[in-house]
Copies of this chain bind each other. A is one copy, B any other.
Amino acid sequence: MCQLLGMNCNTPTDITFSFEGFRRRAGLTDHHTDGFGIAFFEGKGVRIFRDNHPGALSPMADLVGQYRIKSYNVIAHIRKATKGTVNLENTHPFIRELWGENWVFAHNGTVENIEICPNSHCQPIGTTDSEIAFCCMVAKLKERFSKKPTEKEIFDAVVEITSEIAQLGVFNFILSNGEWMIARCSTNLHYVCRKAPFGTALREDDVMIDFRKYTSESDKVTVITTQPLTKNENWVKMKNGGYAFFKEGDVIYEIEGDLPECEAHV
């Protein structure tokens, strides 16, 4: 299993505080040591850094910490391999072009026996179930809409297509096109929306940050993650089958889901 981290904001934001806590789980405080990846949107472009070394120790992850790239949308992933060997092509997040946009996807869980659509224009490069699922989703969206539809139509179609895939297993994911971010929960996904009045946050390794030093009154920053990264904030625990569509740091559309995590997967 793996862990996910996403950030969606209304102002370019440095994810370092959250990322540094998150990557500690990749070898220091937890065992997600089979690679890490992080994608930063910058306009319609995207920077992706991936490594098949543990996130806690990777020089690539050190660079990310030092470089302090500011972005509206970021997706990161630390991997504990369940399907597919440990190599670069199996490292999340995955990326494909759809309707002239970069689409970035990271998955936590395993969808069993998912099959590659052989005639689809979007084929997996590696051997993970996650990339197969992502390619199926992209191909079905492109079949359904030859041109980019509205955001609500995208959200509804993603919910429909991925609810079907989710019947094959555990399908927590984060998806972004650089304008919005969609989070889907099977078992474990939490989010927090940070906005004024800003206060302090205490990371699980007891590092404190005072957001008042780094923010302005109008800022909105949503952080999505498998397990909460701070001890003193109100993280929303998503339910099984729950979806949230974030834009500029706000929840725009939401499907609450059926069951709390513990009932859905015992």
Shortest Cβ distance from A98 into B: residue: B123
A125 contacts B100, C-beta separation under 8 Å: yes
Bound Cα distance A89, B100 (Å): 11
Bound Cα distance A125, B122 (Å): 16
A125 contacts B96, C-beta separation under 8 Å: no
In chain A, positions 51-71 with a C-beta closer than 8 Å to chain B are 59-60, 63, 67
Hey, which chain B residues are within 8 Å of A63, CB to CB? 63
- Min CB distance, A232 to chain B, in Å? 34
Copies of this chain, complex-wide, total 2
Q: Does A24 contact B (CB under 8 A)?
A: no
Bound Cα distance A91, B47 (Å): 11
- Min CB distance, A195 to chain B, in Å? 28
A123 contacts B96, C-beta separation under 8 Å: no
- Min CB distance, A7 to chain B, in Å? 18
Partner of A45, one of B42, B43, B88, B96: B88
Hey, which chain B residues are within 8 Å of A88, CB to CB? 42-47
**A126-145 near B? 1/0 per residue, CB < 8 Å:** 10000000000000001000
Hey, which chain B residues are within 8 Å of A60, CB to CB? 67
Hey, which chain B residues are within 8 Å of A122, CB to CB? 97, 121
Q: Does A29 contact B (CB under 8 A)?
A: no
> Could you say which of A43, A99, A122 has the most chain B C-beta atoms within 10 Å of its C-beta?
A43
Q: Does A146 contact B (CB under 8 A)?
A: yes
Bound Cα distance A107, B224 (Å): 38
Bound Cα distance A231, B205 (Å): 55
Bound Cα distance A175, B101 (Å): 22
Partner of A123, one of B48, B87, B97, B125: B97
Q: Does A119 contact B (CB under 8 A)?
A: yes
Q: Does A227 contact B (CB under 8 A)?
A: no
Q: Does A50 contact B (CB under 8 A)?
A: yes
Q: Does A102 contact B (CB under 8 A)?
A: yes
Partner of A59, one of B67, B87, B96: B67
Given contacts A63-B63, A121-B121, A121-B142, contact A45 B91 (CB under 8 A): yes
A100 contacts B121, C-beta separation under 8 Å: no
Shortest Cβ distance from A96 into B: residue: B97
Task: Show 13 A/B contacts (Cβ-Cβ < 8 Å), sorted by A.
Answer: A42-B88, A44-B87, A44-B89, A45-B87, A45-B126, A48-B48, A59-B67, A60-B67, A97-B123, A100-B123, A102-B125, A121-B121, A121-B122
Counting from the closest, the 9 A-B pairs by CB-CB distance are A45-B88, A45-B89, A100-B123, A121-B121, A44-B89, A42-B88, A43-B87, A44-B125, A63-B63
